[in-house]
Amino acid sequence: MSVSKNMVDVILFFPKTGMDSMVQLPLSVLCVASTLTNYELSLIDERIESDALKQVEKKSASAICVGVSVMTGRQISYGLRASKVAHGNARVVWGGIHPTLEPGQTLNNKNVDVVVRGEGELTFLDVVKSLEAGSDLSRIDGIGFKERNGKQILTKDRKFVDLNALPETPYDLVNVEKYITQREGFRRCLTLQTSRGCPHDCTFCINPVYNRRQWRSLAAERMVARTVRLKERFKLDGIIYQEDNFFADMRRVEDFCRIIQEKNVDIRWKANCRISYLARKNKRFYDMLEKAGCKLLQFGVESGSDRILKILRKHTTTQQILEVNRKLAETRIECRYNFIVGIPTETIEEIQTTLKFIEVLKRDNPNLKSSFVNIYTPWPGTELYAKSIQEGFISPRKLEEWAQFNWNDALMPWIDKKTARFMRRVSSRYLTKSKFFKPNL
């Protein structure tokens, strides 16, 4: 039970990210908050609250702990800033992608007391209860912490949560209106997550490490029910499914589309997809997506070079990409393709091949609305990260160094100056078209 209902027991802090011109719901901390029903919570989103740090300083005086959500990069520096102002009595707990990938280094920082590795809903609840009771943290799976003598303890991995058994997202903790955007051509849209993880093992992606190649989801009926509730409560015309892999289970996709149509749900949506999933699909499948409201599909196409696609382990060929692109041209579904350049061993000629490939894709498919060209960044824990280190990449060793780890930088040792200049030009030509990717540090 809560210590006192007048004061805050737990603060959940979502730091700025450095790319905050169009903010989306802070789903990570909202999901973590869903299970803390017996505690007085304060959810502070630094991206939209100008007095966020003052709030942490003041409210943490009575709090059991301050939970901070952190992804690799700039968000670390803002997370550290908040952790430093937290009151000494409140323990600082970091969760999210970065502390999961680098728990030891995160705990090395004197401002972090505990790390939650992986999904936070059940683990953080256990941590809060244990901190409140002053009991032994070592019995909690999926965390790391420091003993009094400074020794770090990492407990064993925790099983994934059952998404169907979790409480609903507590939207009342935030001012949802501030997160409703007009992105992707919607008038009012929000993000929703109905599955987690991905069964694939692309060598550049953190998903195989973070989600151990296990895909989990809400059942189709529940997915539609949440969609409808979100749409009706906030008067939305669009939903962005914030999934790692929306299409991993085609039966769920088919059921979802069928129920949406049966219930006559008037909603349009965007999701991520894989080229290989659509390669064998016929017109009936595309029609079904359209009728169920699919407005935009985003694909990680990644490269126009078959050699690079193999290195990335995409299990896709350029031939297949061209074919799927032509099929998509016959629908009314808008498309967005993401590409990566600067992969270890990639040559400037291969990058040029990718650029020409983008032009062919555009020519073949008028529904292709945008292509993003990202410069490869080695994320800790991935297979290509190890390869990058072999190729001379020097990995950051502490949190402050990771905070300076810039995405899209082209500073990798295997890239010569001429190629780096070329890649930056190419990337900014494609990325600056997007409001979404405008950095605002």
What are the respective helix, strand and coil percentages of the chain, to the nearest 5?
A: 40, 15, 45
- CA pair distance 346, 412, nearest whole angstrom: 12
Q: Is 207 in the site for ligand SF4 (CB under 6 A)?
A: yes
Contact 155, 142 (CB under 8 A): yes
Alpha helices in 250-297 (DSSP H): 250-262, 275-278, 283-291
Helix (H, G, I), strand (E, B) or coil at 306: helix
Minimal distance, residue 208 CB to ligand SF4, in Å: 6
Residue nearest to ligand B12 (CB): 95
Question: Nearest 5 degrees, angle CA 287-CA 289-CA 290?
Answer: 65
Radius of gyration of the chain (CA): 22
419 binds, among ligand B12, ligand SF4, none (CB under 5 to 8 A by kind): none
Cβ atoms within 10 Å of 142's Cβ, excluding its own: 23
Question: Which spans of this chain sit near ligand B12 (rule: CB under 6 A)?
Answer: 17-19, 24, 27-29, 31-32, 67-69, 71-75, 93, 95-98, 101, 116, 119-121, 124, 193, 205-207, 242, 244, 374, 379, 407
The interface with ligand SF4 within residues 91-120 (CB under 6 A) comprises none
Cβ atoms within 10 Å of 398's Cβ, excluding its own: 12
Minimal distance, residue 277 CB to ligand SF4, in Å: 9
Q: Is 336 in the site for ligand SF4 (CB under 6 A)?
A: no
Helix (H, G, I), strand (E, B) or coil at 339: strand
Residue number with CB closer to ligand SF4 (40 or 302): 302
Minimal distance, residue 323 CB to ligand B12, in Å: 26
The dihedral through the CA atoms of 125, 129, 130, 135 has a sign that is negative
Please identify which residue in the block is written with the tokens 């349009």.
268
- The 257-296 contact track toward ligand SF4, x by CB under 6 A, reads -----------------x----------------------
Residues 6+ apart with CB under 8 A from 165: none
Q: Is 202 in the site for ligand SF4 (CB under 6 A)?
A: yes
Residues 6+ apart with CB under 8 A from 168: 34, 226
Which one of the spans 83-91, 106-114, 194-202, 258-266 is the region binding ligand SF4 (CB under 6 A)?
Answer: 194-202
27 binds, among ligand SF4, ligand B12, none (CB under 5 to 8 A by kind): ligand B12
Which one of the spans 23-31, 203-211, 231-239, 351-359 is the region binding ligand SF4 (CB under 6 A)?
Answer: 203-211
18 binds, among ligand B12, ligand SF4, none (CB under 5 to 8 A by kind): ligand B12
Minimal distance, residue 287 CB to ligand B12, in Å: 28
Which one of the spans 74-82, 201-209, 285-293, 420-428 is the region binding ligand SF4 (CB under 6 A)?
Answer: 201-209
Render the burial of 130-141: b for 16+ CB within 10 Å, e for the rest.
Answer: bbbeeeebeebe
Task: Give whole-number Cα distances, 96 to 88, 378, 389, 409, in Å.
Answer: 22, 18, 24, 23
Minimal distance, residue 351 CB to ligand SF4, in Å: 19
- CA pair distance 111, 124, nearest whole angstrom: 18
Minimal distance, residue 118 CB to ligand SF4, in Å: 16
379 binds, among ligand B12, ligand SF4, none (CB under 5 to 8 A by kind): ligand B12
Out of 126, 244, 334, 346, the residue judged to bind ligand SF4 by CB under 6 A: 244
Cβ atoms within 10 Å of 420's Cβ, excluding its own: 16
Out of 75, 109, 181, 245, the residue judged to bind ligand SF4 by CB under 6 A: 245
Return residues touching ligand SF4 (CB under 6 A).
198, 200, 202, 205, 207-208, 244-245, 274, 300
